[in-house]
A = this chain, B = another copy of it.
Amino acid sequence: MRIGIVGLGLIGGSLAIDLRRQGHYLLGVSRRPETCQQAVSQGMVDQAEPEMALMQSAEVIFLCTPLGALENAVDQLLPHLSPSTILTDVGSVKAPVVAQLAPRWPNFVGGHPMAGKAESGLEAAEAGLFVNRAYVLTPTETTPPAALKTVAGLAESLQSQLYYCDPVAHDRAVAWISHLPVMLSASLIAACLAEPEPAVAELAENLASSGFRDTSRVGGGNPELGVMMARYNQTALLQSLLAYRKQLDDMIQTIQQQDWSGLEQKLAQTQQGRTRFKICQ
């Protein structure tokens, strides 16, 4: 199959590596000519160019730009395509992307391969990035079954675990498990940094151990990524944040009232409930 990748970063590059090894013919587009050169010379793609015209022979195209660059990329891409071309994206938010793309390109399938790394860019791309990781597809009533089947087949060929859901359910789920943790973890760091007494602040900086390190990790991540989450998943994230604040207020009240058996019950529930999450088992 002739497969196009628009955006040669961590996800686009990693997709290219695995798909080309399977024998597909890979076409890459990146704005930067050096990135195109690098992708070709490292054998990630067969051809790469900054011009979208390269995509006209692709049968399936993965849109792998950052969310903020997606609309612009699509504007430039669509004039070059024949109607049979299947488009799919890899964005971490689905409802706004699907709402924007599906009307403009009926042969579109929303997707989200959930494989992150701290590093980004083509240099961070690697073989097997998607093995045993979730790959969510978000078809709607208007998604052509043949396009869905093709994209699902490619995702399966990466040895990903496929999930199907509607775009809004996806966004609410990732708000809970990905976007909300970033915001509450960042708020933890911000609160610690606001400690008014220098001696206490310094002691905290020295004494923090694995509990603080783990709880603060995602709050200390890439700021642009955090802004993208909030910007494109604002509704679901705010729902989660407000529900979270309610739980936090309950917790504060329980401690203020010295209701220790209530607190123990709460913590026993979270200890038990956490094991429902596959990654925590």
Query: What is the interface of chain A, defined by CB distance below 8 A to chain B?
Result: 114, 116, 133-134, 136, 163, 165, 169-170, 172-174, 176-178, 180-195, 197, 199-200, 203-224, 226-227, 230-231, 234, 237-238, 240-252, 255-256, 258, 260, 263-264, 266-271, 273-280
Docked Cα-Cα span, A155 to B226, in Å, equals 42
Residues of B within 8 A of A208 (CB): 177-178, 277-280
Decide if B252 touches A245 in the complex (CB within 8 Å): yes
Docked Cα-Cα span, A209 to B278, in Å, equals 8
Docked Cα-Cα span, A181 to B217, in Å, equals 12
Docked Cα-Cα span, A223 to B266, in Å, equals 8
Residues of B within 8 A of A185 (CB): 215
Decide if A181 touches B188 in the complex (CB within 8 Å): yes
Docked Cα-Cα span, A28 to B250, in Å, equals 42
Partner of A199, one of B169, B186, B211, B246: B169
Decide if A214 touches B212 in the complex (CB within 8 Å): no
Docked Cα-Cα span, A252 to B252, in Å, equals 18
Residues of B within 8 A of A114 (CB): 207, 209
Q: How far is the CB of A21 from chain B (nearest CB, A)?
A: 24
By Cβ-Cβ distance, the 5 closest A-B pairs, closest first, are: A220-B274, A223-B267, A173-B203, A181-B215, A189-B270
- Asked whether A247 and B176 contact (CB < 8 A) given A199-B169, A217-B215, the answer is no
Partner of A251, one of B187, B213, B221, B260: B187
Docked Cα-Cα span, A260 to B68, in Å, equals 12
Residues of B within 8 A of A213 (CB): 277, 279-280
Excluding A180-B188, A194-B243, A244-B248, 8 further A-B contacts by CB distance (< 8 Å) are: A163-B207, A180-B191, A192-B273, A194-B247, A213-B277, A214-B215, A238-B256, A241-B251
Q: Which of A169, A218, A247, A256 has the most CB of B within 10 A?
A: A247
- Asked whether A209 and B270 contact (CB < 8 A) given A186-B251, A244-B191, A260-B227, the answer is no
Residues of B within 8 A of A258 (CB): 231, 234
Decide if A181 touches B212 in the complex (CB within 8 Å): yes
Q: How far is the CB of A248 from chain B (nearest CB, A)?
A: 5
Docked Cα-Cα span, A165 to B206, in Å, equals 12
Decide if B242 touches A252 in the complex (CB within 8 Å): yes
- Asked whether A186 and B219 contact (CB < 8 A) given A165-B203, A177-B207, the answer is no
